[in-house]
């Protein structure tokens, strides 16, 4: 997993950074690898060349401080007091993006306590290995804004600098009574997060910060801590390179919903030999729908969850607009088949629809976990340094399209349930998608790589309004964008750099199976009349398929916050099958290659 220069990046396809190299180096040392191992010497050389751990971004500063190999004075202040502010103020974390809020709460608790692991032989050695000068000589306050250029994705703003300076003054003069109250509120938020997610937390990042806080607050023998410890395997998985960590506790619901729709669209779901598989998928969809709202929902700033489907499992317990919509679509498709049992009642489907109707934002778009609560100006206080668009929720063409597709499928099966509200929601959502189209005909993707991914979704939205290649300017421009980027071998391949730079960049390795499937599904949804373009893409997928029936893992498929890539290993099966099956349904299942 290490790069050729010995370092590691923010994700598996990233260049070497201080954040990735320092933290992976520390982990390997904790696991017992000695400092003189060839890999460690090479990693240490790369780390020092990047500016040493002094130049690690804020999240890295936190973890190294907690371990005792960085000084808390080297961090910009992270006070818990914003939790005491009225929710009407944007600075209250309830108005932030849910993941940023979750990470902040866990970090600010430990930061406010300034708790650090007691020194031992390993931490004393790391103090020597991680830095380019003696540990005792480092001017820690001068390191607060020291972030390597290899790591930084967003610059610090003047507003953030002023805010950090003000918080530094506050930290010296803060009233103890206010700090105590803020710590109690932070701990309450942490405890509720742990309880409402059955000890999982929304994702592994705040799972780790919360576990540390629970350890300090309640001890290693407490029920909360032991419950979290039992959940550690949930966020680990064995990939082809070995044991790895997940960005969540999986993508089970997300993958299942797509797989069902792909099977249905390809005609596979109707086959007798696949009936048992589809029935089990429906059972999973039924068991994963969330049947209650979170405890202390208002105080913990949570979106209602009754009727929602989460990204992964019901235990994780967070509403997501697109996962709810894709699961709604898959459930309706399966239950409309006479061969399938009706496991999800009408009332439960109504709950999902009502939830979605309540998540639409001004302008018609849908965000990810919640409605947009805070102003985009909050990005001026983005302290992460390595992520973009992280402070508040945003609306996305992908999430919006998922809702359009889910509500459209529901409306076809239940035309008498809130028809006017659903029609208005769909109309406004599609209008948002139209406005989100870029001047070159594409849409920017925030959850997948990148323009091919978002264009697939957006063209499906337009199709729900009977807007296609041959009857609307938006559909024609979008198809032209994709056609112009088809490679000579018939496939498409887009680099992750497109997400970072927000412009289309071809993949250096050429065509990719998943990107090709994205483009084909978009073109077919738009009823693109250039059938030869589509045929060439289909032939590319067929030629890339292995004798075993599978497709090999290629480049990374997913993204979040513009700068961090994440794998979706099942995409290489789901979307090519979907594209091939849909092509056969549209054009006939005729032989294309010898």
Residues 279-336 have pLDDT tens digits of 999 999 999 999 999 999 999 999 999 999 999 999 999 999 999 999 999 999 999 9
pTM to 2 decimals? 0.96
Cβ neighbors of 271 (< 8 A, separation 6 or more) are none
322 catalytic residue (yes or no): yes
Among residues 511, 520, 445, 490, which one has the least CA distance to residue 266?
Answer: 520
Query: CA 509 to CA 64: how far, in whole Å?
Result: 36
Q: Which fold has domain 439-445+465-594?
A: Glycosyltransferase (1.50.10)
Cα–Cα distances in Å, from 145 out to 22, 23, 77?
17, 18, 11
Catalytic residue (one of 151, 322, 484, 547): 322
Query: CA 535 to CA 520: how far, in whole Å?
Result: 9
Provide the sign of the torsion angle of the four alpha carbons 394, 398, 401, 407, taken in this order. Answer: negative
Query: CA 438 to CA 446: how far, in whole Å?
Result: 14
Sorting pLDDT into bands at 50, 70 and 90, what band is 564? very high
CB 370 within 8 A of CB 95: no
Residue-wise pLDDT for 428-440, tens only, equals: 999 999 999 999 9
**Chain centre to alpha carbon of residue 366:** 15
pLDDT of residue 593: 73
Residue-wise pLDDT for 463-477, tens only, equals: 999 999 999 999 999
Mean pLDDT for 219-233 is 97
Query: CA 105 to CA 498: how far, in whole Å?
Result: 32
**What b/e readout covers 521-551, taking b as 16+ CB neighbours within 10 angstroms?**
bbbbbbbbeeeebbebbbebbeebbeeeeeb
Percent of the chain with pLDDT over 70: 100
Task: For residue 244, give both structure tokens.
Answer: 């790895």
| 3-state DSSP assignment of residue 182 | helix
Query: CA 112 to CA 275: how far, in whole Å?
Result: 56
| 3-state DSSP assignment of residue 352 | helix
Q: Is the pLDDT of residue 400 over 90?
A: yes
Domain residues of the chain, as ranges? 51-239, 251-436, 439-445+465-594
Check for a shared fold between 51-239 and 251-436.
Answer: yes
Sorting pLDDT into bands at 50, 70 and 90, what band is 24? very high
Q: Is the pLDDT of residue 553 over 80?
A: yes
pLDDT of residue 175: 96
Residue-wise pLDDT for 448-503, tens only, equals: 999 999 999 999 999 999 999 999 999 999 999 999 999 999 999 999 999 999 99
- How many CB atoms neighbour CB 283 within 10 A? 12
Q: Which fold has domain 251-436?
A: Glycosyltransferase (1.50.10)
CB 54 within 8 A of CB 131: yes
Query: CA 546 to CA 495: how far, in whole Å?
Result: 23
CB 349 within 8 A of CB 331: yes
Q: Is the pLDDT of residue 594 over 80?
A: no
Task: For residue 459, give both structure tokens.
Answer: 């063209």
Mean pLDDT for 254-275 is 96
Q: Is the pLDDT of residue 121 over 70?
A: yes
Residue 506's beta-bridge partner residues? Answer: 494
Residue-wise pLDDT for 130-182, tens only, equals: 999 999 999 999 999 999 999 999 999 999 999 999 999 999 999 999 999 99
Supply the mean pLDDT for the chain.
97
pLDDT of residue 546: 96
* H/E segment holding residue 348: helix 346-357
pLDDT of residue 406: 98
Cβ neighbors of 274 (< 8 A, separation 6 or more) are 263, 268
Percent of the chain with pLDDT over 90: 96
Sorting pLDDT into bands at 50, 70 and 90, what band is 580? very high
Output phi, psi for 106, to 5 deg: -65, -40
More confident residue, 588 or 514: 514
User: Which option is the CATH number for 51-239: 2.120.10.80, 1.50.10.20, 1.10.357.10, 3.40.50.300?
Assistant: 1.50.10.20
Q: Is the pLDDT of residue 397 over 90?
A: yes
Q: Is the pLDDT of residue 389 over 90?
A: yes
């Amino acid at each position: 997993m290490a790069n050729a220069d010995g370092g590691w990046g923010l994700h598996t396809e990233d260049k070497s950074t201080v954040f990735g190299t320092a933290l992976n180096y520390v982990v390997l040392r904790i696991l017992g690898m000695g400092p003189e191992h060839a890999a460690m010497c090479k990693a240490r050389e790369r780390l020092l060349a990047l500016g040493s751990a002094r130049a690690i971004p804020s999240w890295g500063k936190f973890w190294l401080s907690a371990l005792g190999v960085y000084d808390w004075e080297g961090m910009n202040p992270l006070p818990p007091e914003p939790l005491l502010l009225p929710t009407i103020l944007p600075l209250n974390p309830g108005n932030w993006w849910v993941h940023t809020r979750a990470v902040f709460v866990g970090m600010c608790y430990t930061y406010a306590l300034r708790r650090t692991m007691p020194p031992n032989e390993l931490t004393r050695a790391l103090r020597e290995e991680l830095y380019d000068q003696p540990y005792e000589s480092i001017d820690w306050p001068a390191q607060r804004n020291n972030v390597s250029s290899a790591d930084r994705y967003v610059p610090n703003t003047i507003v953030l600098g002023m805010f950090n300076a003000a918080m530094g003054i506050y930290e010296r003069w803060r009233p103890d009574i206010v700090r105590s109250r803020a710590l109690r509120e932070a701990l309450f938020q942490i405890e509720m997060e742990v309880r409402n997610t059955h000890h999982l937390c929304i994702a592994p990042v705040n799972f780790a910060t919360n576990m540390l806080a629970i350890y300090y607050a309640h001890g290693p023998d407490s029920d909360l801590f032991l419950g979290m410890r039992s959940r550690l395997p949930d966020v680990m998985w064995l990939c082809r390179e070995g044991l790895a960590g997940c960005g969540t506790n999986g993508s089970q619901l997300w993958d299942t919903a797509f797989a069902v729709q792909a099977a249905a669209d390809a005609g596979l779901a109707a086959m007798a030999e696949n009936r048992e598989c589809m029935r089990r998928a429906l059972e999973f969809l039924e068991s994963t729908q969330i049947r209650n709202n979170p405890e202390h929902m208002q105080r913990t700033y949570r979106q209602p969850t009754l009727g929602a489907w989460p990204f992964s499992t019901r235990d994780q317990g967070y509403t997501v607009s697109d996962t709810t919509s894709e699961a709604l679509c898959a459930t309706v498709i399966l239950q409309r088949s006479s061969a399938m049992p009706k496991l999800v009642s009408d009332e439960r489907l109504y709950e999902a629809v009502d939830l979605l109707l309540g998540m639409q934002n001004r302008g018609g778009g849908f965000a990810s976990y919640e409605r947009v609560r805070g102003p985009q100006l909050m990005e001026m206080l983005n302290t992460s340094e390595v992520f973009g668009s992280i402070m508040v929720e945003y609306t996305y063409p992908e999430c919006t399209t998922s809702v359009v597709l889910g509500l459209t499928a529901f409306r076809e099966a239940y035309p008498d349930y809130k028809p006017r509200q659903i029609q208005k929601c769909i109309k406004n959502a599609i209008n948002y998608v139209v406005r989100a189209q870029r001047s070159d005909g594409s849409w920017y993707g925030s959850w997948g790589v990148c323009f091919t991914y978002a264009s697939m979704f957006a063209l499906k939205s337009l199709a729900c309004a009977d807007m296609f290649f041959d009857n609307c300017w938006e559909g024609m421009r979008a198809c032209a964008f994709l056609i112009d980027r088809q490679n000579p071998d018939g496939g498409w391949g887009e680099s992750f750099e497109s997400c970072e730079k927000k412009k289309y960049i071809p993949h250096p390795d050429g065509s990719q199976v998943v990107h090709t499937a994205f483009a084909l599904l978009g073109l077919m949804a738009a009823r693109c009349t250039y059938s030869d373009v589509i045929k060439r893409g289909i032939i590319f997928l067929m030629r890339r398929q292995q004798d075993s029936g599978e497709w090999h893992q290629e480049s990374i498929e997913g993204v979040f916050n513009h700068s961090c890539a994440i794998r979706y290993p099942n995409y290489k099966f789901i979307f090519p099958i979907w594209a091939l099956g849909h092509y056969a349904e549209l054009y006939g299942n005729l032989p294309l290659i010898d």
